Structure 1
Amino acid sequence: MMMNLFSSFDPSTSFNLSLNWMSTFLGLLLVPSMFWLIPSRWNYLWIKINLTLYKEFKILNNIKGSTLMFISLFSLIMFNNFLGLFPYIFTSSSHLIMTLGLALPLWISFMFYGWINNMTHMFAHLVPQGTPPILMPFMVCIETISNMIRPGTLAVRLMANMMAGHLLMTLLGNTGPMLSMMMINLLIIAQIMLMILETAVSIIQAYVFTVLSTLYSSEVN
Structure 2
Amino acid sequence: MTNLFSVFDPSTTIFNLSLNWMSTFLLFIFVPLIFWLVPNRFNILWTKIIFILHMEFKTLIGCNKMNLGNTIMFISLFSLILFNNVLGLLPYIFTSTSHMSMTLALSLPLWIAFMLFGWINFSQHMFSHLIPQGTPAILMPFMVCIEMISNVIRPGTLAIRLSANMIAGHLLLTLLGNTGPSMSLILLNVLVFTQILLLTLETAVAFIQSYVFAILATLYSTETN
Deviations 1:111-163 (A, max 9, x none): 00000010000000000001011100000000000000000000000000000
Secondary structure of 2:39 counterpart: coil
Q: Against the structure 1 CA distance between its residues 170 and 61, is the aligned structure 2 distance closer, same or farther, given a 3 Å change threshold?
A: same
* In structure 1, C-alpha distance between the alignment counterparts of 2:104 and 2:174, rounded to whole Å: 25
**Structure 1 counterpart of 2:151, which letter?**
N
**Counterparts in 2 of 1:71-150, with a 5 A limit?**
71-150=75-154
* Aligned equivalent of 1:59: 59
Select the residue among 134, 158, 167 that pairs with 1:163: 167
* Aligned equivalent of 2:42: 42
Q: Is the 2:34–2:43 Cα contact (8 Å) retained in structure 1?
A: no
Deviations 1:55-78 (A, max 9, x none): 000011132221100000000000
**Structure 1 counterpart of 2:187, which letter?**
M
* In structure 2, C-alpha distance between the alignment counterparts of 1:105 and 1:49, rounded to whole Å: 26
Q: Against the structure 1 CA distance between its residues 201 and 136, is the aligned structure 2 distance closer, same or farther, given a 3 Å change threshold?
A: same
Q: Against the structure 1 CA distance between its residues 212 and 36, is the aligned structure 2 distance closer, same or farther, given a 3 Å change threshold?
A: closer
**Counterparts in 2 of 1:1-12, with a 5 A limit?**
none
**Structure 1 counterpart of 2:60, which letter?**
L
Q: Against the structure 1 CA distance between its residues 39 and 117, is the aligned structure 2 distance closer, same or farther, given a 3 Å change threshold?
A: same
**Structure 2 counterpart of 1:60, which letter?**
L
* In structure 2, C-alpha distance between the alignment counterparts of 1:111 and 1:136, rounded to whole Å: 22
Which of structure 1's runs of 4+ aligned residues deviate more than 2 A?
Answer: 33-38
* Aligned equivalent of 1:209: 213
Select the residue among 173, 176, 183 that pairs with 2:187: 183
**Structure 1 counterpart of 2:56, which letter?**
E
* Aligned equivalent of 2:201: 197
* In structure 2, C-alpha distance between the alignment counterparts of 1:99 and 1:35, rounded to whole Å: 29
* In structure 1, C-alpha distance between the alignment counterparts of 2:98 and 2:38, rounded to whole Å: 37
The sequence identity of aligned pairs, in percent, is 67
Displacement after TM superposition at 1:35 (Å): 9.7
Q: Does 1:153 align with 2:157?
A: yes
Deviations 1:89-119 (A, max 9, x none): 0000000000000000000000000000100
* In structure 2, C-alpha distance between the alignment counterparts of 1:188 and 1:34, rounded to whole Å: 35
| 5+ residue gaps, structure 2 | 1-32
What's the TM-score, normalizing by structure 1? 0.83
Secondary structure of 1:159 counterpart: helix
**Structure 2 counterpart of 1:74, which letter?**
F
* In structure 2, C-alpha distance between the alignment counterparts of 1:106 and 1:35, rounded to whole Å: 29
Q: Against the structure 1 CA distance between its residues 212 and 179, is the aligned structure 2 distance closer, same or farther, given a 3 Å change threshold?
A: same
